Amino acid sequence: MALREYRRKRDFSQTSEPAPSTRAVGKRPIFVVQLHHARRRHFDFRLQVGKVLRSWAVPKGPSFDPSVKRLAVEVEDHPLSYADFEGDIPAGNYGAGHVDCFDRGIWSTDGDAAAQLRKGHLEFVLHGKRLHGRWHLVRSHRKEKQPAWFLIKAQDEYAGNGEADDLLGDAAAPPSKRKVPAKKAAAPAKSMVAAKGKAPSLRGISERRKESIHAGFFSPALTQLRDRLPEGDDWLHEIKWDGYRILTAVADGEVRCWSRNALEWSGRIPGIVDAVRSLGLRSARLDGELVVMEGGRSDFAALQKTLSGERRGELTYMLFDVIHVNGEAIDQAPLLERKALLKALVGRAKAAHAKLLGYSEHVVGHGDEMLAMVMKSNLEGVVSKRTTSPYHAGRSGDWLKIKRLESDEFAVVGYTQGKGSRQGFGSLLLGRPAAAGGWDYAGRVGSGFTDSQLKQIGKALDGAKGGAQPTVHADTVDPLLRQARWIKPRAVVEVYYRGMGGNGLLRQPSLKTWREDKSVASLRDADRASRSAKSRPKRANEPPSVRGITITHPEREVYPGITKLQVAQYYDAVMDWFLPGVRGRPLSILRCPEGTQSACFFQKHPMAGMKHVEQVMLKEGSGAKRAYLCPTDGASIIELVQFGVIEFHPWGAMAASPDKADRIVFDLDPADDVPWERVVSAARTTRRLLERLGLASFVRTTGGKGLHVVVPLRPAAAWTEVETFAKAFAMSMAQAQPEEFVAVSAKARRRGRIFIDYLRNGRGATSVASYSLRARDGAPVAMPLRWEELGKLAGGAAFDLRSTVARLKRLRRDPWSEMASMKQSLAHAMRVISQHS
């Protein structure tokens, strides 16, 4: 197919998918397999043939079993740049949903690939991180709307009984017959370091030195607040961006972003991380502000809503300094030289990332004109920097900030006497109209007056008659008010200030002007109009909050008849029972942002906007480290629910020791034709056989058809031991009772039997948490049980959102309460198995 079909189906102003462009064709053709959580979840299998990616949608994903033919529906060709695409395709667009990379690498075939495809049979070899060996694509003879093919694994040393879904956990160990990917498979990650042409030139930098750095936090330069801009051409002036300060460190191609307070933000802003990575820097230190632009200016409220997930906004990393590039420190070079280099660096960003990186422009001199522009445009303020200054951590005086001041009008309700040489008065006492009549005290202003104003206003105050004291907030502490002279309000002043304090008083007020054109009555009229507008009924109630987390769209149906707020309230109600099973563990989540009747997708990495969910950096199969979700408290759980999370799937290990498993999970998954009574019997058999090996176990429903039998390990064991044991145990059960159990996942072999799924016991693999909801009809719950309860249940989905809360109110203790103190290891069990093998 031509790329015109690809273009026709997409609006590139709405989707971040790459537009067709010329991309250099490598010496060896690439392949990519992407997991696409669209309306129907499927895998997209793509092979480079010539200058395009020939593409097939594989609903169930590749199977490693040569006897299984997987349907592969041919779709439009994609550009080569699509191999790098991951992320969300917005709702309303073709293929809307989330796209993750499952595997990528190179592939080969004997002969002409295009000719083989025309004949209807392509035999090829994959060299990926997960997929290896020989494969076949065979065209179906059935007539379909779209050409149908079959993807089949060849019988070779990489064949086995696994499925693509078995490998979805990061670094999940493949079946023993599959080989570990060769080191060459990691090459695409290294290519990011050398992306986009030659290294940036440092020829224009006068002061530089060799320096090795790490990707950790570095202390930022800080500004000092001033009332006036400095004058002269020794200073440059930038817009003061209204956002979050972000410091970025790059080392050996690894990009990490930090807040001003040394909190890592890499996992919260993955798009920014990718954009910085696209600059192709081996090492760097960058300084800037994270903003959302609205109407030509940075909008802090829009930034907060974007980060919290309440709205969709475009994040921009507005860069204003660079202090290290590719092994050379340039922090002592003059600022103008550093900014010239920075501007060139930002221009190197790939087209897909260009909108995410901005360069903070400046003017040299002309401070008054800059301030006038800022005031007229209602911008946050101005940052002035000495043009020749090096980069100093802390407040050196080389960076100054001048904020735009708010102003408002107030009645003069009193004054204090001047002291020393001060003529006329010390300060004016200000009031605003009170709701019940009278005045509320708003603070005092004693700066911004000229000598002539002091004299003129002083004379006016001398003739003022006494008035009642305004209402003063109970938290106000101001000794000068004891000597205050209260007067009847007659005059109006306009005052600059920097926000309001918690006691309702103006912060840092200074006089703007004496408003001879305004009357006190006009202040009351304006106040009445404002209160009238505020008293009108609101169109919508304030959104509710759970554990301090605001729940937006609380009325949205997550399940038929069950709202988003009810889901949050469920997790709040069961939190004491639920949290111990997920706290401190790396986590995969199932998100259903539009409800369970729409697209849902798994996610394991943090998203922009999370404030309460902790993250942990873990090494993946490629050797690179990435941030993983790791909840620690109730607020973090509710925040995830606010982001549309329904299901929680923790690792079988703690984040503090990710290479040691502290539990084993056997998932008893029955075929559709297996009655519940046999599942219960299978769980009891599993328990009995484990006890013979000296291992106690616990049982829970899955919220689906089956049961989990869970074995705690104290002390924790290495994953290699756990995988070996779990596989051996499952295989022995299948061999002992082949009519009852099967230890392979192929659906064709499972008919009438129960699949003992042992593949959840690998590093990065997950299983559903106890008390987690499931994204299935009826809002079922994965429920821990006492073994003696098992025979009383009607099925694996016996408990739902409502009945679970009622059950927990009746229980005196958790059915799994003994698990935390139980001590048992695999050592004895492995010895017993080895004696009988």
pLDDT, one tens digit per residue, over 514-528 is: 877 677 887 887 777
Q: What is the arithmetic mean of pLDDT over 485-502?
A: 80
Residue 748 confidence (pLDDT) = 66
pLDDT-based confidence at 171, cuts 50/70/90? very low
CATH assignment of 407-519, among 3.40.47.10, 2.40.50.140, 3.40.50.2300, 3.40.1010.10: 2.40.50.140
Residue 194 confidence (pLDDT) = 32
Sign of the CA dihedral running 183, 185, 188, 194: positive
Q: How far is Cα 236 from Cα 387, in angstroms, rounded to an integer? A: 6
Q: What is the arithmetic mean of pLDDT over 320-337?
A: 91
DSSP 424: S
Q: What is the arithmetic mean of pLDDT over 138-164?
A: 82
> pTM to 2 decimals?
0.44
Residue with tokens 């802390």: 394
User: Beta strand pairing status for 381-386 and 741-742?
Assistant: unpaired
More confident residue, 719 or 261: 719
Task: Find out whether 495 and 512 touch, Cβ atoms under 8 Å.
Answer: yes
Mean pLDDT of the chain: 84
Q: What is the arithmetic mean of pLDDT over 569-589?
A: 94
Q: How far is Cα 98 from Cα 91, in angstroms, rounded to an integer? A: 10
Tell me: cis bond preceding 784? Omega within 30 of 0 counts. no
More confident residue, 29 or 771: 771
pLDDT, one tens digit per residue, over 396-411 is: 788 888 876 667 889 9
pLDDT, one tens digit per residue, over 740-782 is: 999 887 666 778 899 999 988 999 999 999 999 999 999 999 9
Tokens describing residue 188: 């695409």
Task: Choose the weakest-confidence range: 176-180, 330-334, 662-666.
Answer: 176-180
pLDDT, one tens digit per residue, over 809-833 is: 888 888 998 888 888 989 878 777 6
Sign of the CA dihedral running 301, 302, 304, 309: positive
Q: How far is Cα 346 from Cα 275, in angstroms, rounded to an integer? A: 10
pLDDT, one tens digit per residue, over 186-227 is: 222 222 233 334 556 777 788 888 888 888 888 888 888 776
Residue 665 confidence (pLDDT) = 97
Residue 180 confidence (pLDDT) = 34
What CATH architecture applies to the domain 210-403? 2-Layer Sandwich (3.30)
Q: Is the pLDDT of residue 176 over 50?
A: no
Q: How far is Cα 82 from Cα 748, in angstroms, rounded to an integer? A: 34
More confident residue, 339 or 476: 339
Task: Find out whether 153 and 63 touch, Cβ atoms under 8 Å.
Answer: yes
Using a pLDDT cut of 90, give the percent of the chain over it. Answer: 36
Catalytic annotation present for 9:
no
| 611-648 burial code (b ≥16 CB/10 A, e <16) | ebbbbbebeebbeeebbbbbbeebbbbbbbbbbbbbbb
Residue 173 confidence (pLDDT) = 32
Closest CA to 32 of 75, 66, 82, 69: 82
Q: Is the pLDDT of residue 452 over 80?
A: no
Non-local (6+) Cβ contacts of 161 within 8 A are 64, 65, 175, 744, 745, 746
Q: How far is Cα 440 from Cα 748, in angstroms, rounded to an integer? A: 79
Q: Where in the chain are all domains bearing CATH 2.40.50.140?
A: 407-519
Q: Which of 273-282, 297-306, 475-484, 637-646 has the highest mean pLDDT?
A: 637-646
Tokens describing residue 103: 């595997």
Coil, helix or strand at residue 813: coil
Q: How far is Cα 781 from Cα 799, in angstroms, rounded to an integer? A: 6
Task: Choose the weakest-confidence range: 280-284, 391-395, 671-675, 715-719.
Answer: 391-395
553 backbone φψ class: left, alpha, beta (φ>0; ψ -120 to 50) = left
Q: Is the pLDDT of residue 457 over 70?
A: yes
Q: Calculate the CA 751 to chain-centre distance.
A: 41
Q: Is the pLDDT of residue 503 over 80?
A: no
pLDDT-based confidence at 807, cuts 50/70/90? very high
Q: Is the pLDDT of residue 587 over 90?
A: yes
Residue 583 confidence (pLDDT) = 92
29 backbone φψ class: left, alpha, beta (φ>0; ψ -120 to 50) = beta
Residue 562 confidence (pLDDT) = 93
Residue 78 confidence (pLDDT) = 94
- Residue 692: how many CB atoms within 10 A of its CB? 9
pLDDT-based confidence at 241, cuts 50/70/90? confident
| 479-490 burial code (b ≥16 CB/10 A, e <16) | eebeebebbebb
User: Active-site residue among 9, 143, 198, 240?
Assistant: 240
- Residue 104: how many CB atoms within 10 A of its CB? 20
Q: Is the pLDDT of residue 438 over 60?
A: yes
Residue 187 confidence (pLDDT) = 29
User: Beta strand pairing status for 485-486 and 87-89?
Assistant: unpaired
Q: What is the arithmetic mean of pLDDT over 167-194?
A: 35
What CATH architecture applies to the domain 660-836? Alpha-Beta Complex (3.90)
More confident residue, 701 or 543: 701
Q: How far is Cα 128 from Cα 181, in angstroms, rounded to an integer? A: 7
DSSP 500: B
Q: Is the pLDDT of residue 324 over 90?
A: yes
Residue 757 confidence (pLDDT) = 92
Q: Where in the chain are all domains bearing CATH 3.30.470.30?
A: 210-403
pLDDT-based confidence at 249, cuts 50/70/90? very high
Residue 256 confidence (pLDDT) = 92
How far lies 649's CA from each of 87, 584, 760, 790, in Å? 21, 13, 11, 23
Residue 430 confidence (pLDDT) = 93
Q: What is the arithmetic mean of pLDDT over 628-652?
A: 94
Non-local (6+) Cβ contacts of 297 within 8 A are 242, 377, 378, 379, 380
The span from the first CA to the last CA of the chain, in angstroms, equals 55
